[in-house]
Structures are given as structure tokens and as C-alpha cells.
Amino acid sequence: MSQNVDINSLIGSAKQQGSLSAASANVLTAVDIGDQIRDGLGVGVDDVFANDVILVTMLIDDSGSIRFGSNSQVVRDGHNLVVDSLRGGQEKQVQNMLCHTAYLNGSILYPYVIIGSAVQMDDTNYNPNGSTPLYEAGIITLGRVLTKAQEFSDAGVTVRTITLIVTDGASTDSYRTSDEFATIARDMYRKETHIIAGMGIADGSTDFKQVFRDMGIPDEWILTPGNSNSEIRKAFQIFSKSAVRVSQNVASFNSSMGGGFVTVV
């Protein structure tokens, strides 16, 4: 497990190697979120026997509006669809693929694990009833992606990442800003080994295209399903197929970066 890693050292290493700007490093270290980042790092580098690793990360909204909108089960199903698709529909160990899922209000469904050990989301571990600290939780999530990637990079392992942020409302109860998130996200995109995607489930008033643009996420990686089970399910299918595609090899990842989501008919 990666419980004893020095988060600031990994961030410093990323900065030294040019993966992070000084501004991004300051966002990640100005407020003490090291323990929250560390809690999600999970399996240690020495326990992964691969020279090329893909990190799949999901940050899922667990605000009360998900429940009030009767969308709890379709979100559970969507998360599980992504995991099952990455496994190839089987309970098998894909040794070079790690997955991590956390909730907006701070809970962790599971830290980074080999995809075969990812936990299915159900009504015992996902009961949305919190608020929407989108930027705060998003920055912590990007911190986990970056430090986990840096762990592997420092060990000489090639790393690519794809991250999905799901919300059905604009940010509330967050002491961080969209500009702070965007500073990190743009650095990650410049590295050309990271993809960050946003899914905004319609709430009747929020312009999710603009929300995610303000967070530095390019249009081709933004999904805006309506507030219906069928549309939400299709959005998860689109992300799922895209994640499978980018996880296949470096060439598939590189060709997908600028093209955005795979189309689902």
C-alpha cells in the first residue's frame, strides 16, 4: 500500500520534472490536503507487475439532489458498467489497470486497486445525501491522480490516466475555486498523458458546459446528459467505451486525446 508516501515530495518531483507548474504545486500544497490525497493512493508500486500502467479514476456526486432526482440507482449502474467494461465483462485481474472511485463529500469507495478488485457500487455503499463541494473534491482527486502517476513515473513505469467527474449541480460548500482546479487540469493536459472528463447531469438551471470549461476541461471531454435514466445511462456508456479505448495502448490514448469521447449509437 502507498500509505507512507511523502505527498509533498511527489508533488515536488512532478514540478521538478516539468509535469506541474509552480502555480499548480502551490494549489496542491497551500492547504494541507496531503492526508486526503494519501487515503486514495491504495496499492503500492511494488505490487503492480507492469511496465505500462493506466489509472482510471471516478469522482461521483453523492449530493442529496441525486437521490431527490431518483438517479441513485442509475449512477450506481453507470459506475459498475465502467468497471465491468474495463474488466472485459469478467472478474479477471488486468494487471496494468488501476481504478479508484471517490465521492464528492469525501468518502472513498475504494482507493487505487487492480481493476479486478474494484468494488461494485450498491445501496449499502452509495446513499447520496450530501452537498456539492465540486472544486474542493476535484482538486483532491487530481492530487491523487498526479501523485499516483508520479509514484509510477519515479519507478520508471509509463503512466496514462483518464478521470471522470460526475455532478448534477454547480459547486457549493467549496473553499476552492474553478480557477485553481483549471490551473492543475491544464498542466495535466499539457503533459499529454492525462485525460479529464466531466459529466453534468441536467438540473434545469446549470450550464454544465460552462462549469467544466471554467475548470479547464475541453469541450470534447464534456458530457451533458438530461435528467433521465436513459440519458444518464448512455453518458456512462460513452465514458465506458472511451475508457476502454484509451486503455488499450499508447497509440489509442494519443489518438483519443484530441478527439474526445467515442460515439455510442
For 144-167, how does the pLDDT look when each residue is reduced to its tens digit (9 = 90+)? 999 999 999 999 999 999 999 999
Q: What is the DSSP string of 66-127?
A: HHHTT-HHHHHHHHHHHHHHHHTSSS---TTEEEEEEETTS-EEEEEEEGGGPPPP-TTT--
pTM (two decimals): 0.95
The model's pLDDT over 16-39, given as tens digits with 9 standing for 90+, comes to 988 899 999 999 988 889 999 999
Q: Please tell me the predicted confidence (pLDDT) of residue 2.
A: 64
Q: How many CB atoms lie within 10 A of CB 49?
A: 8
Read off the pLDDT of each residue in 87-91 and give the average, rounded to a whole number: 64
Residue 89 reports pLDDT greater than 70: no
φ/ψ (deg, to 5) at 141: -65, -45
Q: Please tell me the predicted confidence (pLDDT) of residue 117.
A: 94
Q: Please tell me the predicted confidence (pLDDT) of residue 182.
A: 97
Q: Which three cell numbers stand for residue 41?
A: 493512493
Domains contained in the chain, CATH given: 7-254 (3.40.50.410)
Distance linking the first and last C-alpha atoms of the chain: 40
* Range of weakest confidence among 19-23, 97-101, 124-128, 170-174: 170-174
